[in-house]
């Protein structure tokens, strides 16, 4: 092709002449020119019979070349031949153009996640292809999704993870039977449920200090009769649960948390403990167990033995909350709770020595509360070392009292432990004791950091009532914390399985409600 002549003929600027070959190489230009050429040829006049025939061409008038048409059988035309003969070149060109445009479009669907609601707007008009009429998406049903034409939304709950191939089938405007249907494959990525990526390997039962992967307990406290057997006083129940974290379950390592709950039927004292063994300490699961059981046992014994004396001190303090009265009550609590905490430390130390281990191998936090109902309200005392949280929460009055301070370290994940010798100094134990008298409460809650971290995010948020409101709403949406519900322990254990990205530690909670 002589592009130099064509440049002058078409009046094309010389600086654009290098673009001319590229222009004629385009498929749609070639198809257009071919179409015009066919139209031109079909409109040419027939050759005159008197025109001179080139001597090199065969003489069609030569009788020697006559063909007897009667001897040629009729060859039936197949469907493909008929289709070729009836093809409208212009329509065929438009179909190719639409197919090319559809396949060239960048179509991306937003990613989804298995078992989580999915919505994605799919408005085909935004592709800017005017010739598209009806269309459908094939392959959505197999993964739990549907396309809603009234809202242009792909929606549903994906059931299968992976890179799914969805087929977009389009018809041209004014489509009729036999016309082509255009297809385009679209990739829809559905990510797996993060929970499914975690293993749940049972803890081997033959390890030293084996502990079940989960535990829960409910204590039903009967109503007590009033004076002369008249009337009954409402009592609160206790429920607690502990669940091995996903990080431990994934590796088949044991639960480090522990708890203990009890109620003295005669004296009326409620005693609750929660402990979180340090993940870096290889026998912390035993440290948390010893701490909870030791404190619970000693408090049970001592409050039964000195119940009358402690009751009198509490009643005196309720009438007169002077520093003198506070000091007397504080000293009594130190002699009981403080002694129990120190004994827990000594029992852990003894265990380490007998096993020829270091006491830091049994490192654990410890949360303790003792409480009792009086005519004037509830008395609550607490001891707290480490992270986690203790709170008195009243949903109706929006009252909140945090019974201590979490021990945060210099870096995230650091805390202080019962097994540290400096924690066992008398002044240190004494300052960690807190007590309060409240008219009533919805719940007295002890939690390990496996719960406080995802639910409160920061230590300062423990003092925000809205965080406690949200926590209580979350718990009670799953756990029926009404009187005498024996199923509450299993319900609470199931609640502990909640998902929180990045928070996969052991979870333990005890609730007096």
User: Looking at per-residue confidence, does 256 or 8 come out higher?
Assistant: 256
Give the CA angle between residues 145, 148, 151 to the nearest 5°: 130
- Mean per-residue pLDDT, 461-467: 97
* H/E run at residue 447: strand 443-447
pTM (2 decimals)? 0.70
**What whole-number distance in Å separates Cα of residue 105 and Cα of residue 102?**
6
**What whole-number distance in Å separates Cα of residue 503 and Cα of residue 449?**
10
Residue 43: pLDDT band with limits 50, 70, 90: confident
Tens digit of pLDDT for each residue in 346-394?
Answer: 999 999 999 999 999 999 999 999 999 999 999 999 999 999 999 999 9
Report the chain's C-alpha Rg in angstroms. Answer: 42
Strands (E), 173-256: 182-191, 214-219, 224-225, 232-233, 238-243
CA 184: distance to chain centroid?
A: 33
Tens digit of pLDDT for each residue in 238-296?
Answer: 999 999 999 999 999 999 999 999 999 999 999 999 999 999 999 999 999 999 999 99
**What whole-number distance in Å separates Cα of residue 31 and Cα of residue 12?**
22
């Amino acid at each position: 092709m002589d592009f130099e002549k064509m440049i002058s003929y078409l009046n094309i600027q010389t600086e654009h002449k290098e673009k001319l070959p590229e222009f004629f190489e385009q498929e749609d230009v070639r198809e257009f020119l071919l179409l015009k050429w066919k139209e031109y040829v079909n409109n040419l006049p027939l050759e005159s019979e008197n025109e001179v025939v080139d001597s090199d061409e065969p003489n069609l008038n030569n009788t020697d070349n006559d063909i007897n048409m009667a001897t040629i059988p009729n060859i039936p035309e197949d469907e493909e031949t008929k289709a070729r003969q009836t093809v409208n070149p212009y329509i065929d060109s438009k179909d190719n153009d639409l197919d090319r445009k559809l396949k060239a479009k960048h179509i991306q669907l937003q990613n989804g996640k298995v078992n989580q609601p999915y919505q994605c707007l799919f408005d085909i008009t935004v592709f800017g292809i005017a010739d598209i009429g009806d269309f459908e998406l094939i392959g959505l049903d197999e993964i739990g999704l549907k396309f809603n034409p009234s809202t242009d939304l792909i929606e549903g709950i994906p059931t299968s993870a992976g890179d799914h191939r969805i087929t977009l089938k389009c018809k041209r405007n004014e489509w009729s039977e036999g016309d082509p249907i255009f297809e385009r494959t679209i990739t829809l990525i559905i990510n797996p449920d993060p929970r499914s990526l975690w293993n749940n390997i049972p803890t081997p039962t033959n390890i030293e200090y084996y502990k079940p992967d989960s535990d829960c307990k409910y204590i039903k406290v009967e109503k007590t009769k009033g004076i002369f057997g008249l009337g009954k006083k409402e009592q609160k129940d206790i429920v607690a649960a502990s669940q091995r974290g996903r990080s431990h379950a994934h590796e088949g390592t044991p639960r480090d948390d522990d708890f203990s709950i009890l109620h003295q039927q005669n004296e009326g004292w409620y005693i609750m403990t929660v402990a979180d063994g340090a993940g870096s300490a290889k026998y912390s699961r035993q440290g948390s167990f010893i701490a909870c059981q030791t404190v619970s046992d000693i408090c049970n014994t001592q409050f039964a033995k000195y119940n009358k004396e402690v009751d009198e001190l509490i009643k005196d303090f309720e009438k007169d909350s002077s520093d003198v009265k506070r000091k007397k009550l504080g000293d009594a609590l130190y002699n009981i709770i403080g002694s129990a905490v120190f004994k827990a430390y000594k029992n852990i130390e003894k265990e380490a020595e007998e096993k020829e281990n270091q006491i830091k191998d049994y490192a654990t936090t410890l949360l303790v509360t003792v409480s009792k109902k009086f005519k004037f309200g509830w008395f609550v005392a607490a001891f707290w070392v480490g992270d986690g949280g203790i709170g008195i929460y009243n949903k109706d009055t929006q009252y909140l009292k945090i019974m201590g301070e979490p021990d945060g370290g210099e870096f995230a994940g650091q805390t202080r432990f019962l097994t540290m010798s400096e924690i066992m100094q008398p002044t240190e134990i004494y300052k960690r004791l807190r007590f309060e008298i409240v008219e009533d409460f919805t719940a007295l809650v002890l939690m390990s950091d496996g719960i406080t971290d995802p639910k409160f995010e920061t230590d300062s948020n423990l003092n925000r009532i809205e965080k406690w409101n949200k926590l209580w709403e979350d718990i009670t949406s799953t756990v029926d914390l009404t009187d005498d519900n024996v199923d509450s322990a299993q319900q609470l254990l199931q609640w502990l399985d909640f998902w929180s990205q990045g928070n996969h530690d052991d979870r333990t909670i005890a609730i007096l409600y």
